[in-house]
Structure 1
């Protein structure tokens, strides 16, 4: 027996919600991948916890993507069992998202140490690194207009004279512009990359947390709509 009146309106609201939910799942996958790729393209990270939040977000996005499709089918067919299962799965997803937000918040507090260790490792391996590895660090210094981890002095082992830095540290980039200019503020950026990079990563991580919270809010609405539809479907069965 088809639902009627206000319950029918809830049915279409739940169906429309799941279309938005499906797009949110897709958005989470994209955001998670961008943050994951951004972190690993920027840094050489040995701490596995640095990838925890983005990986959880990607996994959630995939699960949400399929659950939304399941919810659409349940709402359209007015199937009590499918709608109930959808609501339960949605509740579980919200709990996992809360855990992901907590992981992200905890990671923010240890981000400084991860950045410090990663940049130090990258500078140590620069001379013997591959061209791709060197280009990654060079681009980082060029884009953030910084040099070294905490200052240009971190490159003291770069040249034989102990006073040279990679050209990517230069204020005005040119071939061999970093030779013998480590402490020359007019030619080389004296500020290290640590603070600038930490701020950039925290900003990206904050967007991931905000996205998770917004989607969790939408999911709560989805559970409310699902419960209303379940009651409507059940009432229909009782009338029959």
Structure 2
């Protein structure tokens, strides 16, 4: 392999890893934004990985660290960095595939977690004192107001003790309160599905970039190894 070809591969590796690093940084920032502004954290507690923000932050952090190593390895032509980058990136890609398979296989179980956690949150809401479980109450009220829904399966879940967040009017007349009839379970589940669809598209894009980086790393490492380069 001549030097011009090596320089071309090295440039591609650096730019692709930098692009992947930017994607990872954006994913972390977006995940943090969701964690700060989302109203679901206290309602879905049994199976925390279904919460999109958690997945975004963890995945994005790992991607940025690994891709940064790839950028440094390509720029310095360091065999140690390149082989470490190759191994870590290969493991990361396997983990991404495993996560995709888990969510595909256990999609029905995830629906069960949604229903169980929301019902538990609703019961806690009803049994709490006016000043108790303030965070959970605020989150449940925010969900009902945002999605224009009431209860988990419907307004009947409240058994007559319907909160003001179910009211269809704003401001609400307590004496003549008309409530949303549709439950929040379907709407919240659909919201999560849409978020994971966009998250999945981003992960697939990063996976393709990672695969290309993995393919470029092999010939570069072999070239440096044959010529005894890369450890200085």
Same fold (TM over 0.5): yes
Residues 74, 80 of structure 1: 8 Å contact kept: yes
Residues 31, 208 of structure 1: 8 Å contact kept: no
Match of 2:144 among 141, 145, 160: 141
Q: Which stretch has the larger CA shift, 87-96 or 109-118?
A: 109-118
**Structure 1 length-normalised TM:** 0.80
Partner of 1:97: 96
Aligned pairs for 1:201-216 within 5 A: 201-216=192-207
Question: For 1:35 and 1:132, how far apart are their aligned partners in 2?
Answer: 17
Question: For 2:52 and 2:172, how far apart are their aligned partners in 1?
Answer: 40
Q: Secondary structure at the match of 1:195?
A: helix
Question: For 2:159 and 2:110, how far apart are their aligned partners in 1?
Answer: 25
Instruction: Give unmatched runs, 5+ long, in structure 2.
Output: none
Q: Quickly say closer, same or farther: Cα 1:176–1:50, change in 2 above 3 A.
A: farther
Q: Quickly say closer, same or farther: Cα 1:52–1:41, change in 2 above 3 A.
A: closer
Q: Quickly say closer, same or farther: Cα 1:124–1:46, change in 2 above 3 A.
A: same
Q: Quickly say closer, same or farther: Cα 1:140–1:57, change in 2 above 3 A.
A: closer
Partner of 2:168: 171
Instruction: Give the length in aligned residue pairs.
Output: 224
Supply the RMSD in Å over aligned alpha carbons: 2.7
Partner of 1:221: 212
* Structure showing greater Rg: 1
Instruction: Give unmatched runs, 5+ long, in structure 1.
Output: 159-164, 182-186
**Structure 2 length-normalised TM:** 0.82
Partner of 2:57: 58
Question: For 2:21 and 2:144, how far apart are their aligned partners in 1?
Answer: 39
Q: Deviations over 1:48-77 (max 9, x none)?
A: 354587645533322222222221121112
Residues 52, 195 of structure 2: 8 Å contact kept: no
Q: Which stretch has the larger CA shift, 9-18 or 117-126?
A: 117-126
